[in-house]
Structure 1
């Protein structure tokens, strides 16, 4: 039987890794550069031959309002002649061990094959959606004539971008910290001088209320018509349908050739519903974002301020409904105790008799699903047992992890060299 070994890379491995990447992606131009430190480059060997590779790119993210160290898996690849031989599973196990050792509390990746990662405790996040608005639909929408698109440059543009970015509620998303800095500081200068890219301020009666960023002529329909891609659309306050539609009319006014606007940026569910009723369509992008929680107790401790805030909103209700305002979660060999009072929530490792309090055993993937607010996860867990003590735990769990849609936002500007000092940065 072939011997499969996963390990961190050495300098002499780099040439073979580059050749593997080219074979795996069937592309002579493919490469994995820039690589992180070699102790974050994982390879898998079969009888001494490198047949698998993944790099771990560390970033800091805001997850549920707290700063968390995260590892993004990059260039996951397996030699085409060694598929389905356990190489990927062995490599993911080694990557998880390294990330836990390095203090990377969660992992992210983007993949077209989510099922493979789900078998290794990864959780799917909502698929990326693009909202498509045609010119004819936009022309029929109600609009606000006080709204205008204006060019913004220099300090004025940076100030507006900062104001809108800070108004975003990060509790519903996992947002790369450096991604936020990129938006706040570098975006306005980055787009200057581009023929196709644009950054417009959005004003209401002359007062700045938001900005819109994208690219003209970047995507085409099957019929070959020219479209506008909106990458980011942020507002100081939540926009109305009339404001969005007038901004779209402003984008269309620049050139009659453009027939569609593709909104790749998230919009409020109420806005999406109104736009769908008007005839817009939603298309799903190919790859799926995946999330894995590496260190359960440390991650829950990191996001405890948000969990406490959520809990305190319901504390009176819970104390009336449950007999014991505490419960324990058993996840991947760790037992975490949640203890509640009228003033705070305490999260800690638990070593006492677990039979004395409400408790439940869930998988690492189910915990990630709860953290991301996936609808139906609680029902799935609840279906395992109807014991009263479990129902007490479920009642409390449902208020700590309410249903909501979580998305991931990071890009190439988010990656940085990993240092231990980064872990010591104070929360934002």
Structure 2
């Protein structure tokens, strides 16, 4: 009888682990179509930090991204954007991208069609990559254009090889003049935490290998894995065409804070937050004469804070402007995201706004509500636990066992990342 009236023990405390707003980034789905040199060294992460949800001033963007339940091999992305106030010189632009990929969990082999009411009316892209052998091929073919001026307007093709520590490839314009081939050649290698690479992009009319203006090189130092549940740090230096020097770093932090949410259960005592910080400095190293409107050196600093699965705050500061963005997301099926951004121009001091609306069913929230990688720490002395837990009454906070190595690698849309540089 005593056991019958005894109260069951309370459930163990848990920490909410919300999914990231946008992971993986959509630019990563097409990374096999571009040089690895252009997406490594933290460039993809910095692009997302400085561009995502920062709408152009006095403009709007509406995007629908859908995947049918009956056939998950295909998806469609349709976008409509334009000015908020009617201007004769600016038109509303509409485009759509229809994509088919052979494997639902492998984004490397696909075919897509891009249609638009702008210059590139119809374009086809195709990519085939075999992770087992490391070889891949791709092609980009503009089918309908208002006018064809450069060799790229007639299409380009590429070959690549990728392994765990090496990536190399070449991009060709098969219909170009003889002295315009190739379009680019790259080689990137990773040795431990250090990644180094070079890229050859010939200028029009001068494709000599001895011309340093055709070469770019970069070196980066990275700590952490590709998992969004694990902290990471990336620092890079790049010399572009012997004329521009770029220094940048990006840090992704996974932190916890105490939470008391009346809509959650009593066992929820904390929540995981994601904080990102990035910096980029660009300066000229040659003595070329530039326009008075183009400064020799520019910089930008950006930060973002995801408080929970529904709220994202971003801000960035540059030489000419200051911008902030707020994004609100509902994880329905499909999900719905509304974002608004404000930009203050230092020249005139005016504040300009832009907004966007997005509906999506392509990416799914994949993180667990109570992550088993979070363990309860019970240190004896508070001064020995700085940075490990906060006092929450008589119950210590939960802390991520980052060194356990139990975190999932990356979402299935980006696998196998550990086999491809």
Same fold (TM over 0.5): no
Given the two structures, how large is their TM-score scaled by the length of structure 2?
0.21
**Greater share of residues in helix:** 1
- Which of the two has greater strand per residue? 2
